[in-house]
């Protein structure tokens, strides 16, 4: 296997100033996790302490109710004080706990009124049951805080502030195949672009496609970093392939169950013949979406033609027009994660207006043109657009074994036929480590495939490499090369 590369005079700096900011963000996130556990422990200790103290000095139901109100009030004060610490906030992560604290205060107040004349003692069994229920309710209400972090994005390092807007593009040449009402295919798009640009500035365009049942925000740190470095980035949703999105009627569109099942089965025991049958449908839809978006973005930027655009409101329209006005349509790159990476690679092969492609850990499904006797038939054509392929560590080593067996894997064929290709992987990484998901939810990241890496550090490195690659091939700045691999931790 051969790799054609250029040599770089600007190597990636593993511990540059930009990464010091990422290290700080990572430390704050870890401190936040500690604070969440501390909050749960302190809440539980107040319940245990209440039971022990009341058992030592047995009190009447009236007195017990007053003490219960005091403890509940103390827990509310404790939470309010811990809002000053990292990781504790009033977002959706703690909304269940906030609601629980309010409800408990109300019921404790009612308990004081109900038991004001009762002099009998509360039974020990009732106190223990109350303790267990309280701890379970507190722990249950805090589940979102343990599943999700207070991640608000990685630091950006470019000279530009980043502005965002969104629109929905309506493709009147395609009927929505997942609906039966004859409606047109709708593709939501989300703009990330330099906010403090000078008048007349133009920037390269990068269009991003998410993975199977992914989401347009899957790689938000990448979009923000690119935009801060002088790019207009458009992340699109693939309705019914994305986890959820919305249409022009405000209806929430969730991932299609049959699509989800077929993708899960393809990662299991599905034959190559069946995978080809299913993946052909996936790629047709996704390539159609991206081609349509690219065409409409170019019309909007070059011709001020926004007939296909639907805007949520006038503010969204004006911001999107501002983004379109910044696009240099002679400099276009595409990228994506997983199936989105496969989409980007196929777009780079089909179109002559694409100048650079990044594939984040995607099997290049578009090059499979058939399957026979348990092996893929892969299209053997030249690939002329500079291509940058990231693989996860597990796949990297699996592909070494496949290559030894002379297995017709589509990525091998693209590599051999590409004029300019760069390939790398991060040690210890798995599939979801090339997205922001493990940063937003380490639990879901591990569940879906995250390895033994420092996700903040790794994504900072991935984003830096993406900027350098696009700088070289879209802006014509410097040269570019990569190491065979990078560490996934500092």
DSSP symbol at 86: T
Q: DSSP H helical segments within 405-441, as ranges?
A: 410-417, 437-440
The strand order across the sheet containing 184-194 reads 309-310, 162-175, 184-194, 232-236, 203-209, 327-337, 356-360, 387-392, 421-426, 485-486
pLDDT tens by residue, 181-228: 999 999 999 999 999 899 999 999 999 999 998 999 999 999 999 999
What is the number of other CB atoms lying within 10 angstroms of the CB of residue 271? 11
What confidence score (pLDDT) does residue 33 get? 79
Is 337 in contact with 370 (CB distance < 8 Å)? no
Q: What is the mean pLDDT of residues 465-490?
A: 95
Q: Cα separation of 348 and 113, whole Å?
A: 72
The mean pLDDT of 422-428, rounded to a whole number, is: 97
Question: What is the phi/psi pair of residue 232, to 5°?
Answer: -95, 120
Provide the pLDDT confidence category of residue 54 given band limits of 50, 70 and 90.
Answer: confident
| pLDDT value of position 5 | 31
- Contact present, 359 and 387 (Cβ < 8 Å): yes
The end-to-end CA distance of the chain, in Å, is: 31
Q: Say what the pTM is.
A: 0.87
Tell me: the pLDDT tens digits for 327-375? Answer: 999 999 999 999 999 999 999 999 999 999 999 999 999 999 999 888 8
Q: What is the pLDDT of residues 131-177, one digit of tens each?
A: 999 999 999 999 999 888 888 889 999 999 999 999 999 999 999 99
Could you tell me the pLDDT band of residue 94, with boundaries at 50, 70 and 90?
Answer: very high
Q: What average pLDDT does range 458-474 have in this prediction?
A: 97
Helix (H/G/I), strand (E/B), else coil: 303: coil
- Could you tell me which residue, 57 or 473, shows the higher pLDDT? 473
Mapped onto helix, strand or coil, the DSSP state of residue 270 is coil
- Retrieve residue 312's tokens: 């949520």
Residue carrying structure tokens 């403090």: 196
User: Does an H or E element contain 11, and which?
Assistant: none
Q: How far apart, in whole angstroms, are the C-alpha atoms of residue 56 and residue 121?
A: 13
pLDDT at 27: 63
Greatest pairwise CA separation for the chain in angstroms: 89
H or E segment at 461?
Answer: helix 455-473
Contact by Cβ (8 Å): 242, 218: no
Given CA atoms 14, 20, 22, 24 in this order, what sign does their dihedral have? positive
User: Is residue 107 predicted with pLDDT exceeding 90?
Assistant: yes
CA 234 to CA 253: how far, in whole Å? 20
- Tell me the C-alpha distance between 461 and 465, whole Å: 6
Q: Residue 10: what pLDDT?
A: 32
Residues 87-113 have a mean pLDDT of: 93
State percent of the chain over pLDDT 70. Answer: 94
Mean pLDDT of the chain: 91
Q: How far is C-alpha 143 from the geometric centre of its chain's CA atoms?
A: 20
* pLDDT (mean) for 244-271: 91
């Amino acid at each position: 296997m051969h790799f054609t590369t250029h040599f770089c005079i600007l190597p990636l700096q593993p511990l540059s100033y930009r990464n010091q900011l990422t290290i700080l963000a990572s430390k704050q996130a870890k401190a936040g996790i500690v604070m969440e556990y501390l909050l749960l422990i302190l809440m539980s200790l107040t319940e245990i302490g209440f039971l022990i103290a009341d058992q030592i000095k047995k009190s009447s139901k009236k007195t017990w109710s007053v003490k219960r109100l005091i403890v509940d009030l103390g827990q509310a004060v404790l939470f309010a004080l811990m809002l000053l610490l990292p990781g504790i906030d009033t977002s959706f992560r703690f909304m269940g706990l906030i609601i629980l604290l309010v409800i408990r205060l109300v019921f404790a107040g009612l308990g004081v009124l109900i038991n004001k004349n009762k002099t009998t003692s509360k039974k020990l069994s009732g106190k223990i049951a109350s303790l267990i229920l309280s701890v379970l309710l507190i722990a249950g209400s805090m589940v979102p805080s343990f599943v999700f972090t207070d991640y608000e994005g990685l630091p950006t390092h470019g000279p530009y502030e980043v502005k965002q807007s969104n629109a929905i593009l309506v493709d009147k040449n395609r009927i929505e195949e997942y609906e039966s009402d004859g409606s047109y295919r709708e593709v939501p798009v989300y703009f990330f672009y330099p906010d403090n640009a000078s008048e007349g500035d133009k920037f390269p365009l990068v269009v991003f496609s998410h993975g199977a049942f992914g989401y347009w925000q899957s790689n938000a740190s990448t979009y923000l970093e690119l935009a801060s470095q002088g790019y207009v980035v458009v992340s699109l949703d693939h309705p019914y392939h994305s986890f959820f999105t919305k249409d022009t009627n405000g209806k929430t569109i969730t991932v299609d169950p049959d699509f989800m099942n077929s993708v899960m089965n393809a990662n299991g025991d599905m034959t190559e013949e069946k995978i080809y049958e299913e993946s052909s449908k996936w790629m047709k839809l996704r390539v159609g979406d991206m081609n349509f978006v690219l065409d409409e973005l170019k019309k909007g930027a070059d011709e001020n033609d926004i007939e296909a655009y639907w805007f949520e409101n006038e503010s969204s329209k004006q911001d999107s027009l501002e983004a379109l006005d910044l696009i240099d349509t002679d400099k276009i790159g595409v990228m994506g994660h997983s199936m989105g990476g496969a989409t980007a690679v196929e777009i780079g092969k089909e179109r002559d207006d694409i100048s650079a492609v990044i594939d984040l850990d995607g099997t290049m499904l578009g090059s499979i043109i058939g399957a026979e006797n348990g092996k893929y038939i892969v299209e053997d054509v030249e690939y002329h657009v500079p291509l940058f392929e990231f693989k996860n560590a597990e796949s990297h080593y699996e592909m070494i074994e496949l290559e030894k067996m002379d297995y017709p894997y589509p990525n091998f064929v693209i590599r051999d036929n590409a004029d300019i290709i760069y390939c790398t992987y991060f040690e210890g990484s798995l599939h979801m480590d090339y997205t922001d998901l493990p940063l937003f939810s380490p639990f879901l990241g591990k569940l879906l495939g995250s390895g033994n890496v420092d996700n903040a550090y790794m994504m900072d490195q991935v984003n830096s490499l993406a900027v350098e690659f696009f700088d070289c091939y879209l802006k014509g700045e410097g040269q570019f090369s990569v190491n065979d691999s990078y560490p996934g931790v500092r």
